[in-house]
Amino acid sequence: MVRRLLIPTTLVLGLLATAARPALAWSSTILEAAGLAPDAVALPAGGADIVFVKDLASPSPDALRFKATGTSSSELIDSAVLYSNANPQIAFDGTDPWVLPRSQAFVPGGVRLYQRTTSWNGVTSITNAYAGDLQYDPSGPGPISFVYTATSNGALWFGTWSGSLGGQPLAPSAFDDELSLAFGPNGRAGVAFLNGNARLSYVQRTNGTWGSPVVVDATRPARWPSLVFGPTGIPYIAYTDGGNRDLRWASRASGSWKTSLLDGASTKTGWRPSLALDPGSNPRIAYEAESPSHNLRWAAKNGTTWKFSTILTNSSNALPVTGGGPSLVYLSSGAPRIAYGGSDNKLRWAKQ
């Protein structure tokens, strides 16, 4: 006897509609009439804070500024004529936002670390340094941590601030400010950087002790690494092939580093990646395609499969990405957001 399972018509139509539902489109809004080189950090209570550089195209001094999403105006942090390529970094310690500009080596007084309490203040300076990345480390020796290279000898340093400045060298050489610092479970920390030969390299802190640096990809020059840890402590790095400018991927999931090409085949489609994990711990990357037209692109991994798409172009009323590349964050709601600067020098906020 054959038994037939009767499924309500409404359920069938609902399942078909779900299966056919397209991915949510991206759109963008203008946050500031002038702003480039942004970095964003999601806040536990919702929303995000953004640091950016204003007036890059102006002959007047460039201004380092702060913007909280949902507010109508931005705040001045500081101004100096040499902020123009600063690529500032922002972190949130649970109470206050902190900012550290990159490429500020020749500003008088050195790289300055800023904290916002009731107003913005420079709390300390690092002389003769290219600052690279800034993060909050709740388990570390100082809640605010950063990495930088010394202009005197190119050495890579790890710094901390907890009322006083601390630091230690991690590697004998690193390339300028293209550094990425991340913290993982159980106090683990890592730094992705380019060694003196511009090869992607990595150094990790485990159980409070920094190990020796290792070369991750020795076969090609690299640019713009972006590092995150998975929930079990596996490090992942998105980076750019320094020759072909394609998007590449490095993972230590099997205990040793494996690298692969993600997007592009000598097509210059992998500039300045920004890597984050979605609420399901799936890797997501926002990045810039130099060709064509510096469009904003998106890479998403589900299981073992990567998918790539162009998410914002001129035709979608979002101008090409310039000035520091995109900054991808996931809000406390689980929604992705991307801060980026358009070719019209406007600071934009993309959402899906």
Assigned token pair, 225: 């690494």
pLDDT for 342 equals 82
pLDDT for 262 equals 96
Phi, psi of 29 (to 5 degrees): -125, 155
pLDDT for 9 equals 42
User: Residue 112 and residue 98: Cα distance in Å, rounded?
Assistant: 11
Q: How far is residue 116 from each of residues 113, 193, 339, measured CA to CA in Å?
A: 10, 28, 20
Assigned token pair, 221: 């020059």
pLDDT for 86 equals 61
pTM assigned to the model? 0.90
Q: What is the pLDDT along the chain (352 residues), one digit of tens a residue?
A: 333 333 344 433 443 333 444 567 999 999 998 888 899 999 999 999 999 988 655 555 568 899 999 999 999 998 765 554 567 899 999 999 999 986 544 455 567 899 999 999 989 888 778 888 999 998 866 789 999 988 888 999 999 998 888 899 999 999 877 999 999 998 899 999 999 999 999 999 999 999 999 999 999 999 999 999 999 999 999 999 999 999 999 999 989 999 999 998 767 889 899 999 999 999 999 999 877 678 899 999 999 999 999 998 876 666 666 667 899 999 999 999 999 988 778 899 999 9
User: Residue 111 and residue 165: Cα distance in Å, rounded?
Assistant: 13
Cβ atoms 297, 269 nearer than 8 A: yes
Q: How far is residue 142 from each of residues 279, 295, 337, measured CA to CA in Å?
A: 27, 38, 28
Cβ atoms 217, 237 nearer than 8 A: no
Q: Which of 325, 321, 233 is nearest to 277 (CA)?
A: 233
CATH number attached to the domain at 24-32+126-351 = 2.120.10.10
Per-residue pLDDT of 195-215, as tens digits, reads: 999 999 999 999 999 999 999
Spans of all domains in the chain:
24-32+126-351
User: Residue 124 and residue 113: Cα distance in Å, rounded?
Assistant: 6
Assigned token pair, 46: 């919702």
Per-residue pLDDT of 164-187, as tens digits, reads: 888 999 999 998 779 999 999 988
Assigned token pair, 164: 């006083």
Q: Are strands 235-241 and 222-229 parallel, antiparallel or unpaired?
A: antiparallel
Contacts of 321 (CB under 8 A, 6+ apart): 271, 272, 288, 294, 295, 296, 340, 341, 342, 343
Amino acid at residue number 336: P
User: Residue 202 and residue 193: Cα distance in Å, rounded?
Assistant: 6
Phi, psi of 186 (to 5 degrees): 60, 35
Cβ atoms 351, 34 nearer than 8 A: no
Q: In 10 A of CB 108, how many CB atoms?
A: 8
To which H or E segment does residue 17 belong?
helix 9-20
List of E strands, 43-185: 48-54, 62-68, 75-80, 89-92, 97-100, 111-116, 120-126, 129-136, 144-150, 156-161, 165-171, 180-183
Q: How far is residue 291 from each of residues 166, 228, 310, measured CA to CA in Å?
A: 42, 27, 12
pLDDT for 280 equals 97
User: Residue 343 and residue 240: Cα distance in Å, rounded?
Assistant: 21
Cβ atoms 67, 74 nearer than 8 A: yes
pLDDT for 321 equals 66
What does the buried/exposed string (b/e) look like for 2-19 if buried means 16 or more CB atoms within 10 Å of the residue's CB?
Answer: eeeeeeeeeeeeeeeeee
Residue 41: beta bridge partners?
49
To which H or E segment does residue 20 belong?
helix 9-20
User: Residue 203 and residue 124: Cα distance in Å, rounded?
Assistant: 26
pLDDT for 80 equals 66
